[in-house]
Amino acid sequence: MRTLHNDLSSSYNAEQGKQILAKTLIVTPMKKEFSVLSDYLSNEGHAMKNRADKVQAAWLPDFKLLIAVAGHGKAMFAATTQYLVDRHGPFALIMAAGTAGALHGALRPGDVVLATETVEHDYKSRFAGHAPPPRHACCPVARKGILNTYGGDGTFRLHVGAIASGDEDIVDPKRARQLQQETDALCVAWEGAGGARAARFNGIPFIEVRAVTDAADASAPESFCAHLEQAVSNIARVLLPWLRSRRIAKNSGC
């Protein structure tokens, strides 16, 4: 019998003598990202129930999955994630999901990045010299599960690597190159570090997944709008086989 500690997919209810699927929380920064992700899963045949709450959220009972809008910026994202944990937890995994700007030339709009770590690039410590930015490790078990279940469809690429996080729009190639050199990240977004810190505070595994909408250059605002829906749909394509595999494992009693 595999346990929640080992695979994040299920927990064991001793009284009932069977496995139950552990709850997962996916938090998105923006309402549009939330809508695209939740609608995609619903359109694939998985019932969705909107939650009446101060936070826009949807519950997908097939996966014991709560998707919610956590807001823009690290502080808001962390505060809302904590609220969701307090009100709707416990959760076995917290995932930050949304859009990002590419920092590496190999990435194109629509590509998805599965994080090995979230690097908090705007955390600047100066008292003791130029300390490196905090790096928040992402859950290797969840990452392995996603990679093992996603087969690809040839329309976009799935990358694995660091994601930079900071409250700064990156819209200049020079700044993008500097950030990539400082963090070795594949892409950059705002909120991931806020979700990582909230997860760590509660002792919950965390992972970040981002889809590229732009090249972190002057055309970023237009490219972001043009590619957002397709990019977030690609996140759903990556996650759905993993979500379904966890449900099958629960139902089969494995």
Give 94-149 pLDDT, tens digit per residue. Answer: 999 999 999 999 999 999 999 999 999 999 887 777 788 999 999 999 999 999 99
Residue 29 has pLDDT above 60, yes or no: yes
Confidence of residue 249 (pLDDT cuts 50, 70, 90): low
Query: What pTM does this model have?
Result: 0.89
58-105 pLDDT tens trace:
999 999 999 999 999 999 999 999 999 999 999 999 999 999 999 999
Nearest to residue 183, comparing CAs of 209, 160, 165, 206? 165
User: What type of residue sits at position 208?
Assistant: E
Per-residue CA distances from 94 to 36, 68, 190, 230 (Å): 19, 11, 17, 23
* Residues in CB range of 128: below 8 A, 6 or more apart: none
CA–CA dist 210, 87 (Å, integer)? 26
152-168 pLDDT tens trace:
989 999 999 999 999 99
- The number of distinct structural domains making up the chain is 1
Residue 148 is assigned to a structural domain of this protein? yes
Residue 48 is assigned to a structural domain of this protein? yes
Give the CATH number, domain containing residue 204.
3.40.50.1580
Residue 11 is assigned to a structural domain of this protein? no
Nearest to residue 65, comparing CAs of 21, 29, 18? 21
**Average pLDDT estimate for 3-25:** 47
157-204 pLDDT tens trace:
999 999 999 999 999 999 999 999 999 999 999 999 999 999 999 999
Residue 9 has pLDDT above 60, yes or no: no
Structure tokens at 203: 């002792």
Confidence at residue 97, expressed as pLDDT on a 0 to 100 scale: 98
Q: Which residue range forms the structural domain that includes residue 181? A: 20-252
Which DSSP symbol is given to 136? E
Residue 8 is assigned to a structural domain of this protein? no
Nearest to residue 31, comparing CAs of 85, 99, 94? 99
Read off φ and ψ for residue 31, nearest 5 degrees.
-60, -40
Residue 57 has pLDDT above 70, yes or no: yes
Confidence of residue 27 (pLDDT cuts 50, 70, 90): very high
